[in-house]
Structure 1
Amino acid sequence: MRILYLVTLDNIHDTGKIYKIRDRLNYWRRAGHLAQVWILSRDHEYAIRGLSEQEGVKVFNALPFHLRLSGRLSWVKKTERYIRQAVSLRQLSREIALFQPELIYYHQHIWLPGLAGLLHRHLSVMEVNVIDTEEVKFTPLLRRWIYRAGRKSLIRSVDGLVCVTPEIEARFKRYGKPSCVISNGIDLNRIPLKRPDPSGRAHLIFVGSSDIPSQGIDLVIRLARRLPQYVFHIVCPDLPVGKQQNIISHGALCDTQLKSLYMRMDIGIGTLALHRKHMQQACPLKVREYIAAGLPLILAYEDCDLPDDPHILRLPYGLQHLDDAWVSKIEAFVERNRLKRLSESIRQRVALERKEVMRLAFFEHLLNGYRTNHLSAFIFQPASEEAIAQATEPSSVQTPIAF
């Protein structure tokens, strides 16, 4: 297949997504497909770290321009970014005929002028990562209005949906689009396993954003206050933690720095406040990194990839505060698991290869239906272990690149 992967990215906010896209692109190519990534840059960037050095990756960026007061008023800066993306999309649309993709894979994003028409003219699939009607409530008023105004036209313009949880898929069933559930995966070889150290204090890590309330960073800080005997590492830009002695604020880290940090950690803390956007299921990329590193997990949501396991502690849904009983349970969990790793069977549940075999099968299903004008129900037949292993080996044949 000739696959065009269309995304909106920048270097500051999308580091996790960048590596997800890169690993996925490399897998598709090893599986024999001609795949390219075209990026609508949000800022005046011409390179996306971790992606732009790959063949077949192109960044579309409007000519540099600045609105007055964009450096002083955040809403003006965000308006400038939106205009930049809209102009970049026009340039991208003119070049798409040169590549002639058989399928466009698009990450759900805000409506842009001409985007619905572009997706409608090609066989296209949208990846849906959130219940967007809830997520958009946390965005500025202007963005919220634009998103809601263009949302349905984008959904109606695509031919299929890939949802990362069953909960999200259920919300989109009303649109009558072919869909499947494929949670986020990760290249397990990209993250080194933890190296337990019995000496000293236990180290817990939380990777997140201070401006996304549903991640629950406030609950992590409160937990650190209740458990002063442990060291809490928080990887998050612009985190105001005060002078709390057992919190180490790392700011934003690059991929190499984060991998080095994972090796020294004992426990990974996932999203703790998903209820704030009325969701119960998730599969965050940061937790996939914890799993790849073998870190036992503390979570407060349902992850369809993770079974009940003694190395995974699930806090109650709708957690508002940490009472003494739950603090004691967390302390006991840390003491039991700080020197342990997640089992290999759990790590394999989030392996990139298993996710991408299913995604490519869904693409083929839609493409066959598009060619024959008949689309049956999608039923995934798992590939053999040999087929998965073969697709993960580096290919000796160079896939041709076309622009």
Structure 2
Amino acid sequence: MLDEESNLKVAYLLVLKNTQYHSVYDKVIAQLETWRALGVDAKLFLVTPEANEHPHVEVIAPDSTIKLIRKLKHAVDCFNPDIVYHRMWVLSPLLVPLLLSDYKMLAEINTDTDMEISLEKSRSIKGFATYIYNALTKAFYQRRLAGAVSVTKELSGSVSTQQVAVIPNSIAVEGFNYRKSVDKLDSKLSVLFVGTPGLMWHGIDILNQLARETKGRLEFHVVGMEQSVLSEPSENIHFYGYLPVEQYAAIAQSCSVGLGTLALHRKGMKEACPLKVREYLAAGLPVILPYEETAFLEHKPDWVLEIDSSKDRLDKETVEKVVEFTNLMHNVIIDRQEAAQYIGNVQLESKRVEFMQALAGVK
């Protein structure tokens, strides 16, 4: 267990280009606040066009690349952290001065960057240019890292740095802003799916196949996508487009279960720990997982159904398992404390802080 006071000082960097994707921001703020509760002097440096009144967030307004690099470096220098924490992706020019400094740079690995870029390289000139840029800069980027935190065991092998910890994504279960409610449940068995358009590994086409084969037995509520993502959507799929959590809460409260990403195999991956599944669990929803979930590698509770989605179609046996599980879990609400054992922010962020302390050589 960590001491109440820590000498560790952490600067968290985040670029929030699109304000629709608040789940990442919410995750980062939850991490930041947990670190501070554990005694860490942590501050978020947020590059965004939006105002932000959080007491431990410093907003850096977008500018020309050179000016933005200078502003970010100056802000971090004034804070003078032991660790500069950021989410790994293609090397951003904003990071270069920090990588060349004496700061210990720590990257959080949330996806297989090389695989995602490789999938996009033939789709556009921009995709190909990103692929070439990553190939030229990746070695320098990873060489300058002091360490990395991977959200899955599978992804931990995607970086060359020696200091790598595997710590799944966490969520503040106790403070989550909605809960599944038996009083508000749909009379029909219903499945919640939160996705993003244009990401083929989310597998909306596979969901459509599942919906067609369960018509009259299951209803599907899709948040984050419009009906136009499918040419012939099944009649039992209801699309809501993008909605912030507080607006889709009423939809989620009425659902029986939550459904995870359906086509991770299209990225050549088997394991994941997405934020949306943590939101399902924090809301008390049992989950259907078409992949290996890092939080449940050692033990899988009864309110989790893992199914094989290694192909572009679900077989008949799997479809029937989904229907049976949804029926079984229709009135089940996961206890907060039970969910927190697997995904709770205090439990998991304590491990992250300990890793950062070891890298920085402070207690």
Per-residue Cα deviation, 1:14-49 (whole angstroms, up to 9, x for no partner): 3210100111111122222221111234xxx233xx
For 2:325, the equivalent position in structure 1 comes to 333
Q: Cα 1:247–1:317, aligned 2, differ >3 Å: closer, same or farther?
A: closer
For 2:249, the equivalent position in structure 1 comes to 259
Per-residue Cα deviation, 1:197-220 (whole angstroms, up to 9, x for no partner): 576211211001121111111111
Per-residue Cα deviation, 1:320-371 (whole angstroms, up to 9, x for no partner): 21232222221111111111133542442100111110111111111117x9
For 2:165, the equivalent position in structure 1 comes to 180
For 1:111, the equivalent position in structure 2 comes to 91
Residue 243 of structure 1, CA deviation = 6.0
Q: Is the partner of 1:36 in helix, strand or coil?
A: strand
- Is 1:55 the counterpart of 2:55? The answer is yes
For 1:70, the equivalent position in structure 2 comes to none
CA distance in structure 2 between the partners assigned to 1:109 and 1:214 by the alignment:
18
Q: Cα 1:301–1:244, aligned 2, differ >3 Å: closer, same or farther?
A: closer
Q: Cα 1:250–1:199, aligned 2, differ >3 Å: closer, same or farther?
A: closer
Tell whether the 8 Å contact from 2:12 to 2:86 is kept in structure 1 after alignment. Answer: yes
1:132 to 101, 113, 120: 113
Tell whether the 8 Å contact from 2:308 to 2:318 is kept in structure 1 after alignment. Answer: no
- Is 1:212 the counterpart of 2:199? The answer is yes
Structure 2: 5+ residue runs without aligned partners? 1-7, 121-126
Moved over 3 A (4+): 84-87, 241-244
For 1:46, the equivalent position in structure 2 comes to 50
Tell whether the 8 Å contact from 1:209 to 1:217 is kept in structure 2 after alignment. Answer: no
Per-residue Cα deviation, 1:151-210 (whole angstroms, up to 9, x for no partner): 2211111101101111111232xx242111110000002143211257621121100112
For 1:236, the equivalent position in structure 2 comes to 224
Tell whether the 8 Å contact from 1:193 to 1:292 is kept in structure 2 after alignment. Answer: yes
Paired residues in the alignment total 341
For 1:321, the equivalent position in structure 2 comes to 313
For 1:155, the equivalent position in structure 2 comes to 142
Per-residue Cα deviation, 1:219-239 (whole angstroms, up to 9, x for no partner): 112211211222211011444
- Is 1:342 the counterpart of 2:334? The answer is yes
Tell whether the 8 Å contact from 2:286 to 2:303 is kept in structure 1 after alignment. Answer: yes
CA distance in structure 2 between the partners assigned to 1:109 and 1:39 by the alignment:
16
CA distance in structure 2 between the partners assigned to 1:87 and 1:260 by the alignment:
43
CA distance in structure 2 between the partners assigned to 1:254 and 1:86 by the alignment:
33
Tell whether the 8 Å contact from 2:20 to 2:242 is kept in structure 1 after alignment. Answer: no
CA distance in structure 2 between the partners assigned to 1:275 and 1:243 by the alignment:
23
2:36 to 29, 34, 42: 29
One-letter amino acid matched to 2:315 = D
CA distance in structure 2 between the partners assigned to 1:368 and 1:127 by the alignment:
19
Q: Cα 1:231–1:87, aligned 2, differ >3 Å: closer, same or farther?
A: farther
For 2:260, the equivalent position in structure 1 comes to 270
For 1:292, the equivalent position in structure 2 comes to 282
One-letter amino acid matched to 1:181 = V
Residue 61 of structure 1, CA deviation = 2.9
TM-score (norm 1): 0.79
- Is 1:361 the counterpart of 2:354? The answer is yes
1:164 to 127, 138, 151: 151
Residue 10 of structure 1, CA deviation = 2.6
- Is 1:192 the counterpart of 2:178? The answer is yes
Structure 1: 5+ residue runs without aligned partners? 64-83, 372-403
One-letter amino acid matched to 1:95 = A
Q: Is the partner of 1:286 in helix, strand or coil?
A: helix
Residue 317 of structure 1, CA deviation = 4.2
Q: Cα 1:190–1:85, aligned 2, differ >3 Å: closer, same or farther?
A: farther
One-letter amino acid matched to 2:77 = A
Tell whether the 8 Å contact from 2:32 to 2:42 is kept in structure 1 after alignment. Answer: yes
